Chain A
Amino acid sequence: MWGSSSKIRKLAMKTLLFLTTALTVVGFAPAGSFAATDSDYSIIASVQNQTLVDGSTSRTPLEGVTIKVTKVDGALVGQAVTTADGLCTIPVLSRDDYVIEIDLSTLPDGLTLIDADKQKVAINRELFTTNTKRVTFFTGRGADAGASTAERILQRLSDGIRLGLIIAMCAVGLSLVFGTTGLTNFAHGEMVTFGGMMAFFLNVNLEIPILISGPVVILLGGLFGLLLNWGIFARLTKRGIGLISQLVVTVGLSIMLRNIYLFQFGGRTKQLSSYSKQVNLEIGPIGITPRDLTTAILGIIVLISIALFLQRSRLGKAIRAVSDNVQLASATGIDTRKVIKFVWFAGGALAATGAIFRGLDEQVSFSMGSDLIFLMFAAITLGGLGSAFGALIGGVFIGIFVEMSSLYFPSELKAAPALFILIVVLIFRPQGILGKSQRVG
């Protein structure tokens, strides 16, 4: 017995080593080749005047408005005057917290800020997602202030749906793994980041357009999920290591992977090369780029396919059966190990899909997944831990709720409303919307 256990031990050790080296050597080119543009940081301020024409908004850039950038303590960093395109660039030294202020006295007569308390915009170090941080000030005449509130709500709704689709996509895998194995995977965020890293590598370093490299990234994400199961969690389960201990292992895995990404990718956020520059389409009052519109539609298609797959297909039914009751499922002849393998594959593939969308929507960074993990947890708790449909609904809801709440909440505290939901759900309906109720002591 000891012999076999030490064999497994050796194997697992080898696997871990393999995992690490595979990630560092095979997955990535040598350090440094990731280097995209490494210019200094700058803040781009944009001043747009909104007018209401025939019920739809049109925006025109404003020239000659002074924008000031200060440190949080009030020390002036730089100021600039907007050019004909309504833009001005203020270089800043580092990724830090800044306050951007518009000088109202330089606005043309009769114009004012639509949102009066947006005269100063605070940028948090953590909101600095690329080398350049763009801040837009919207001006208008007093009259269309009312219309703009509705418009802002619609804009947030549109942003929220896009964020929600990404969260839902990423969270399904987390929920499925929990449902079938009982494991709360704190490294799921790093599975998302893995997709982002691969997308960046293929799209930027190898210059393969995202339409072709996307499916490859999704496949790689799925294989990464399989690898984690095969190399770590299946082995731990086989050796009888409990779920709480495995949870701590996922924490270690998350720290390790995140630092591998940091090691290879560096601490900066970088942009995917496909579809990076696009002009807003105006659909009614909502400004959305064709890229974001496409990802949103694709996202909805992906989520509907997941739902149909779980509802209709044999494998989908098997997954739901295992989530419901492992013993019962295996007694009816379902190969639970196969189901678990598939769930890891699907979870990794969906996480990578979410990462591609997120990477196109925002940027790619070593912490893009771990920044989302908390919203994913809120989503699956709300939907019911272990329920895939719950994760879909919860994800979309959390995305919308988080974006909408930033109408009233400073955006640096965006995550707080999600925590609020998490706590309220746990107090009043701990099993979530669609979860199976459990015995509560």
Chain B
Amino acid sequence: MDWNQIIQNTIRAAIGVDAIYFAIAALGLNIQFGYTGLVNFGQAAFMACGSYGLGMTAQYFGIGLWWGIPLGIVFVIVLALIVGIPTLRLRADYLAIVTIATAEIVRLFVRSVKLRNIFGGTEGISNFSREYRDLNPFEPGKTYGFAPFKFSGYTLITVLIGWVLVGVFAFLVWQLMRSPWGRVIKGIREDEDAVRSLGKNVYAYKMQSLVIGGIIGMFAGMILSLDRGSVQPDNYSRDVTFYILTALVLGGLAKVSGSIFGSMLFWVIFVLSDNVLRELTRNGPIRIGDFTLIQSTQVGAVNYMFVGLGLMLLMAYRPQGIFGNKQEMALDGR
């Protein structure tokens, strides 16, 4: 790999599938966390709902792939009820604890050996996306586009559909937040008691926000598994939620463009750091004297260390992110 290639990879990361599914998941998380103030740390589980919804149609029910969407929505609603009913009346931290726990349990369930014939265990589910592949007008093996935006026909269709979805959801979120519903939602974030005193059912609004955000997150999981051609339980670990959260905070909470640009920027930085470190350690570890600074097997850990540090610094010094508006940052309104 040379530096030219690294620069191309970095630029391509801005519009690649990773940035797309992060952007969609972040748009959903933004409704919950940015606009409503719900600390949902289980967005990965909502994404898994979509993936397993798709995967199970073919594997388990033997029905068309597109039934995965209603199936996924059912999963999302069930999950939102499980985490929402006990916690939405309580302080924000309870939702954080329960969502993170539920997401982890969901992952353990779908990867368990006992339920292997339903969810496919650790290998997950593959061979479900045939219908989708058949729809692809591009030739899978051919490369389309121009440098640095080169994609194989196999990926290109997902990239195109993905960006259309990002556009649709961005428009939807934007319109929702301009609507009376959105004003109530933002009111809940600012002062829950005030909204309640206006006669609004805060509990119901919070639940709706959780479900809508979850359904958008579900599409992120679908895009991911359509691109990978398989449903993998370990794509939905708790850290995935935190990386999406980092992307969201980076772009700016409570801002539609923030979710999208934040995800693009997250992946640009991540791919750049990853590629550069891998290039530097390719011919052996970096040493300062006798001290081994970093070797190639440690590159992954270093990247995620930076993600964690970045999230801390952002929250401490620029909680509104790059594009956000400080006035919209009323996470601690209550």
Contact = CB atoms under 8 A, between A and B. Distances in A.
A135 interface: no
Interface string B108-143: 110111101000011100000000000000000000
B59 interface: no
Interface size class of A (residues with CB under 8 A): 35 or more
Contacts of B96: 184, 186, 247
Given A32-B292, A412-B113, A259 B316 contact: no
Residue of A236, A259, A377, A423 contacting most chain B CB atoms (<10 Å): A259
A342 B37 CA distance: 31
Interface in B223-248: 239, 242, 245-246
A247 B108 contact: no
A2 to B, nearest CB: 14
B102 A124 contact: no
A259 B102 contact: no
Interface string B299-334: 001101101111111111101000000000001100
A426 B98 contact: yes
A9 B249 CA distance: 19
B273 interface: no
A256 interface: yes
Contacts of B245: 248, 251
Given A72-B122, A255-B307, A381-B97, A12 B114 contact: no
Interface in A240-258: 241-249, 251-258
Chain B interface mostly: helix
A245 to B, nearest CB: 5
Contacts of A430: 86, 89-90, 94
Contacts of B111: 124
Contact of A422 (B91, B101, B308, B316): B101
A440 interface: yes
Contact of B89 (A186, A232, A252, A440): A440
A239 B109 CA distance: 42
B163 interface: no
B246 A72 contact: no
A248 B112 CA distance: 30
Contacts of B123: 72-73
Given A9-B317, A31-B292, A248-B245, A374 B37 contact: no
B298 interface: yes
A236 B319 CA distance: 12
Nearest to B37: A244
A416 B97 contact: no
Contact of B332 (A184, A242, A262, A422): A242
A413 interface: yes
Contacts of B92: 244
A3 interface: no
A184 B93 contact: yes
Interface string B151-187: 0000000000000000000000000000000000000
A254 B41 CA distance: 14
A99 interface: yes
Chain A interface mostly: helix
A375 to B, nearest CB: 9
A308 interface: no
Given A252-B310, A415-B108, A410 B101 contact: no
B39 interface: yes
A9 B109 CA distance: 44
Contacts of A136: none
Contact of A262 (B301, B312, B319): B301
Contacts of B292: 30-32
Contact of A244 (B39, B301, B304, B313): B39
A92 interface: no
Contacts of A258: 304, 308
A231 to B, nearest CB: 11
B315 A252 contact: yes
A245 B332 contact: yes
B218 to A, nearest CB: 21
A410 B305 contact: no
A412 B111 CA distance: 9
Interface in A218-268: 232, 236, 239, 241-249, 251-260, 262-263
B94 A256 contact: no
B282 interface: no
A306 interface: no
A13 B313 CA distance: 8
Contacts of B112: 124, 410, 412-413
Given A31-B298, A232-B312, A252-B308, 11 more contacts: A9-B317, A13-B313, A31-B292, A73-B123, A124-B112, A186-B100, A241-B315, A245-B331, A252-B313, A410-B114, A415-B105
Interface of A: 9, 12-13, 16, 20, 30-32, 72-73, 97, 99, 122, 124-125, 184, 186, 232, 236, 239, 241-249, 251-260, 262-263, 374, 377-378, 381, 385, 410, 412-413, 415-416, 418-419, 422-423, 426-427, 430, 438, 440-441
